[in-house]
Structure 1
Amino acid sequence: MNFAIVGCGFIAKKHATAIENIEGAKLAAVCDKIEAAMAPYVDEYGAIAYTELTDLLQDDSIDIVCICTPSGLHAAIAEQVAAANKHIVLEKPIAMTIEETNRIITAAETNSVKLAVVHPNRFRPVVQELRNILDSGALGKISHANCIVNWNRGQEYYDQAPWRGTKQHDGGVLMNQAIHNLDLLLLFMGDAQEVFSMEATRLRDIEAEDVSTGVIRFESGALANVQASTTVYPKNYEESITIFGEKGTVKIGGSNALFFEHLQIEGMSEEETVILKEKVIADPWGTPGHQQIIRDMIEAIKLNRKPAVTGYDGKKSLELVLAFYESAEQNKSIRLDKGATV
């Protein structure tokens, strides 16, 4: 199938590499307002360069469009892509508001095109193994969880482009980095019911937050603490999720949440624990998440099924981030079943 990438910034390279590594997939076109940004894709992949989206969408050979633009532009572009009857792989977050998200989902459904949202951390081997543990019921009733993203993003990161760190097009640490981890929390813990949050902009010269902390109550009654920052000196320090259950405690962690840092489950022998830990250590990244999402999209089209990460999955993660923002702004708890209003 022929792919096009719209927006040739940093994340576009991951999409191009993923497409290149999938048999039967080809990067046929790229689109960006800046011609120089498209040059590497023309030279390396032989992609046709378009400076106007309307021109690209008239190319009948394009089957799937990867949208890699600033987040605030997702909705307008996705609507045009869907109207051209091309399937959509959309970088996270799905959009910046629920209104924009609903427009994207409606456009995809109205035009009968597939919509996949890029939450690649779901495909990490350690995440898959933790899902298996939770699905088996081995941890019993879950009491609570901890979710930590203490990373470094220096001022130079935000200064790369004028949209970075803005509330309109990018958001802060919750929207841009920790949304992946909130997505995993929802995957592990089920739907969120209520949040309370505080946030601050402490060290980076940006409009959005560089530090956030909050609490989630899930519909199951379980709780979770969330801490996220891009202010850690001098490099990424920790990305982890810990699940506490009546029959076990599991922590996936490290600087990129790739390993079992703690694994103790009732009935699991020391030998079984070591084998599972070493299995993950042997291939911690596995097949890159972008590659798995793009391959899954191809299969979803061929089999006429939903993609692995749907627009509704992307919407749930966004709702949680927006509830955090609303709570911090109003200094009160926000119920998700009533919907975030930001």
Structure 2
Amino acid sequence: MKFAIIGCGFIAKKHATAIKQIPDAELVAVCDKVESAMTPYTEEYGVNTYTDMGMMLENETIDAVCICTPSGFHAPVAEAVAKAKKHIVLEKPIAMTIEETDRIIRAAKDNSVKLTVVHPNRFRPVVMELKKLLDEGMLGKISHASAKVNWNRNQEYYDQAAWRGTKQYDGGVLMNQAIHNLDLLLWFMGQPEQIFSMEATRLRNIEAEDVSAGVIRFESGALGTVEASTTVYPRNFEESITIFGEKGTVKIGGTNALYFEYIDIRDLPEAETEAITEKVKSEPWGIPGHQQIIHDLIKAVNEDREPLVTGEDGKKALELVLAFYQSAATNQPINMRRGVLV
């Protein structure tokens, strides 16, 4: 499959690298309003460059497009890509509003193109091992879970571009950094029922939040806590998810949630516990998540199935972030029905 990239900022490099690693994928074009941003791609990949998205989408050789624009532009770009009958790899968050998200999902369905959202942390070896344990019921009834993302994004990070840290185009720590952790929390714990959150902008000169704390009641009755920040000095401190069940306790953690920091499960033999712990330690990153997302899109097209991470998955993560925002703005609990804001 022949791929194009729209938006040649930092994250586009990961997409280009991932495409290069996939035997049945080729990067053939990039698009950006700033010509100099495309220079590295012409030098390394010999691709065609476009400053006009419409002209690029007229190229019939392009099968799929990676959308790497600022988040606030996802909806109109994704709609245009879908109407051009190109499959879509869409960076997180899927969009900034539910209305925009529904437009994207509808455009993909109406034009019979596949849509996947980049939540690559699902493919980390430790995450897949924990998901398997949960699906097998090894932890029993879950009482509660904790998700933490305490990272450093200094003022220079936000000053790189005018859209960073804005509510319209970027969002704060929940929308931009912790949304991956929230996606995993939903994947592990199921649908949320009620949300309460508080947030603040403490240290960064931005419009959106740089620190957030909240609680979730899931439809199962289990509780969850979420703590997220970009204010940590002087570097990333932790990313973790801990799940507490009647038959086990598991924490995946480190600065990027790559390892089992703690695993004690009643019905999991000690030798098996050590085996999966060492397996994860030996190759914590596994195959890069962006590569897995893009490769899965290709397989989804060839097999005519839904991608492993769908537009609806992206919508669920966005709805949770928006529920946190709504709760913080109103200082009230927010009710959800089957994961949807009500």
TM over 0.5: yes
2:28 aligned with 1:31: no
Give the whole-Å Cα distance in 2 for the aligned partners of 1:256 and 1:77. 30
**Aligned position for 1:19:** 19
Give the whole-Å Cα distance in 1 for the aligned partners of 2:276 and 2:99. 43
Give the whole-Å Cα distance in 1 for the aligned partners of 2:257 and 2:192. 22
2:336 aligned with 1:308: no
TM-score by length of 1: 0.99
**Aligned position for 1:277:** 277
2:275 aligned with 1:257: no
SS where residue 36 of structure 1 aligns? helix
Give the whole-Å Cα distance in 2 for the aligned partners of 1:49 and 1:7. 11
**Aligned position for 2:205:** 205
**Aligned position for 2:103:** 103
Once the two structures are TM-superposed, the CA of residue 340 in structure 1 deviates from its matched residue by: 3.4
Give the whole-Å Cα distance in 2 for the aligned partners of 1:74 and 1:223. 32
Q: List alignment gaps of at least 5 residues for structure 1.
A: none
**Aligned position for 1:120:** 120
Query: Are 1:121 and 1:127, in contact at CA under 8 Å, matched by a contact in 2?
Result: yes
TM-score by length of 2: 0.99
The correspondence of residues 164-179 of structure 1 with structure 2, limited to 5 A, is: 164-179=164-179
Give the whole-Å Cα distance in 2 for the aligned partners of 1:162 and 1:336. 33
Once the two structures are TM-superposed, the CA of residue 268 in structure 1 deviates from its matched residue by: 2.0
The correspondence of residues 1-342 of structure 1 with structure 2, limited to 5 A, is: 1-337=1-337, 339-340=340-341
Deviations 1:81-126 (A, max 9, x none): 0000000000000000000000000000000000000000000000
Give the whole-Å Cα distance in 1 for the aligned partners of 2:291 and 2:300. 14
SS where residue 273 of structure 1 aligns? helix
Give the whole-Å Cα distance in 2 for the aligned partners of 1:281 and 1:217. 32
Once the two structures are TM-superposed, the CA of residue 336 in structure 1 deviates from its matched residue by: 1.8
Query: RMSD over aligned Cα, in angstroms?
Result: 0.8
Give the whole-Å Cα distance in 2 for the aligned partners of 1:235 and 1:271. 35
Give the whole-Å Cα distance in 1 for the aligned partners of 2:282 and 2:340. 42
Query: Are 1:171 and 1:209, in contact at CA under 8 Å, matched by a contact in 2?
Result: yes
Give the whole-Å Cα distance in 1 for the aligned partners of 2:274 and 2:88. 41
Give the whole-Å Cα distance in 1 for the aligned partners of 2:3 and 2:336. 36
SS where residue 122 of structure 1 aligns? helix
Give the whole-Å Cα distance in 1 for the aligned partners of 2:203 and 2:6. 32
Give the whole-Å Cα distance in 1 for the aligned partners of 2:319 and 2:97. 8
Give the whole-Å Cα distance in 2 for the aligned partners of 1:303 and 1:98. 29
Q: Tell me the amino acid that sits aligned with residue 307 of structure 1.
A: P
Give the whole-Å Cα distance in 2 for the aligned partners of 1:212 and 1:291. 30
Q: Give the number of aligned pairs.
A: 341
Q: Tell me the amino acid that sits aligned with residue 241 of structure 1.
A: I
Once the two structures are TM-superposed, the CA of residue 214 in structure 1 deviates from its matched residue by: 0.1
